[in-house]
Amino acid sequence: MKKRRIILIIMLAVLLLTACEKMINEEKNLIKNPQKPLERKADDFINEEGKTIKERIIVPQGFERIKLPEDSFGEYLRNLPLKPHGSKVKYYNGIVKLRDVHVAVIDMDVGQRDLMQCADSVIRLRAEYLYKRGYYDKIHFNFTNGFRADYKKWREGYRIRVEGNNTSWVKKESYNGDYATFRKYLDMVFAYAGTLSLSKEMKRVFLEDLSIGDVFLEGGSPGHCVIVVDMAENKNTGEKIFLLAQGYMPAQEIHVLKNPENSDGNPWYSANFGERLYTPDYVFTKEQIYRFEE
């Protein structure tokens, strides 16, 4: 009986030593050959069944979408309807854009004329939000020559006459506030506004105060602009990330951009981008952030 106990103790000691040796060897192996973290794919950030930006594009692990009031411009943008996953961007004439720079296409008409380009797309989104909320008196945009085009006067039947650099209102029709008339107003704005006029009527904001609805904008001829359509934050680190959308020229459907700096297909941009923000079609600086006046 005593002999059996001694044998059992020896066997347990051998098993324990073997297990310890195995753990030590595995630890040495990990030091020599550290395991790589699992690489994420583009599919990890996309819910193909999602109908809106908020539903379609998934936030990275550790991040949460920034909460906003339901009636805010930012909440409107992140809930913009999207075309089915895999849709191509189309120009105003129906031709498919060959350059693939997007992860989603916003389901909004672009018109049948070469009008709704980059600045016009930002104007369109802002105007659509105000129109949907019934804030008609707040819908106004400046032409490049400084003329202020108020939708309120357009509803009242006034139309804009442009003769060279002279722009004026002319009473031509009766009151009409339907959507078709609103779209005609926007086409008029698209024809005479641009990045330069937007840069003069919007206010500058600091990167630290970046919010959904802000615009990275370089005013010029033609210049370019992209709009922040969603944001999320890491509660542990405080890092903020955002999504961008743009129109471009020739006039084309508004689309949510890829991030060319991310090799894993992650479309989110970090607010810690440094001095320059690299998008697929343009490079901006952290000083080129603008916001619509309320």
- Helix (H) or strand (E) segment spanning residue 278: strand 276-278
pLDDT, residue 222, reads 82
By the 10 Å C-beta count (0-12 exposed, 13-18 middle, 19+ buried), 34 is classed as exposed
Question: What's the CA dihedral at 120, 125, 128, 130 to 10 degrees?
Answer: -110
Could you report the per-residue pLDDT of 106-132, keeping only the tens digit for each? 999 999 999 999 999 999 999 999 999
181-228, pLDDT tens digit by residue? 999 999 999 999 999 999 999 999 999 999 999 999 999 988 999 999
∠ Cα 81 84 89 (to 5°):
85
3-class DSSP assignment, residue 90: strand
Query: Are residues 73 and 15 both part of a single domain?
Result: no
Identify whether residues 2 and 106 lie together within a single domain: no
Residue 102 and residue 238 share a domain = yes
HSE (side-chain half, CA atoms, 13 Å) at 266:
14
For 236-242, what is the mean pLDDT?
Answer: 97
Mean local confidence (pLDDT), 17-35: 41
Q: Report residue 112 as tokens.
A: 């049948």
Domain range holding 72?
A: 42-291
Instruction: Check whether residue 96 and residue 13 sit in a common domain.
Output: no
pLDDT at 26: 41
Cβ(204)–Cβ(220) below 8 Å: no
Alpha-carbon distance of 142 to 134, in angstroms, equals 20
Q: pLDDT tier at 294 (50, 70, 90 boundaries)?
A: confident
* Same domain, residue pair 78 and 23: no
Q: Are residues 202 and 82 in the same domain?
A: yes
Please report the DSSP string for 181-229 in residue order.
Answer: HHHHHHHHHHHH--HHHHHHHSEE--GGG--TT-EEEEESSSEEEEEEE
Pair (14, 90) in one structural domain: no
User: What is the helix (H) or strand (E) element at residue 163, kind and residue range?
Assistant: strand 158-163
Q: Are 4 and 149 found together in one domain?
A: no
Task: Clarify whether residues 178 and 47 are in a common domain.
Answer: yes
Q: What is the pLDDT of residues 137-158, one digit of tens each?
A: 999 999 999 999 999 999 999 9
CB 239 within 8 A of CB 231: no
My answer on whether 223 and 102 are in the same domain is: yes
Number of structural domains in the chain:
2
